[in-house]
């Protein structure tokens, strides 16, 4: 008895984006350590991405509540 492919979807929907953000943040931090000049710009973008995404989601949810 094998699980259906649909069983993967809830797991991926819940943990997919946090895992992706964690990987991107790790890459950015390593880039800052390895490539000093260019790496600092990569780090700013990748480490700032989770903060920007949380702010964007918060703003979208807040605007949805106002329109209801």
Domain ranges of the chain: 5-67
Mean pLDDT value of segment 46-68:
92
CA 36 – CA 53 distance, rounded (Å): 26
DSSP state of 68: -
**Stated pTM of the model:** 0.71
pLDDT at 47: 93
CB 29 within 8 A of CB 40: no
Q: Residues of the chain with pLDDT > 70: what percent?
A: 88
Give the model confidence (pLDDT) of 13-45 as tens digits: 889 989 999 999 999 999 999 998 999 999 999
């Amino acid at each position: 008895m094998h699980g259906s492919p649909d069983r993967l979807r809830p797991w991926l929907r819940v943990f997919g984006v946090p895992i992706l953000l964690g990987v991107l943040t790790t890459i950015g931090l390593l880039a800052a350590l390895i490539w000093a000049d260019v790496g600092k710009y990569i780090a700013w973008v990748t480490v700032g991405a989770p903060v920007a995404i949380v702010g964007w989601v918060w703003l979208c949810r807040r605007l949805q509540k106002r329109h209801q």
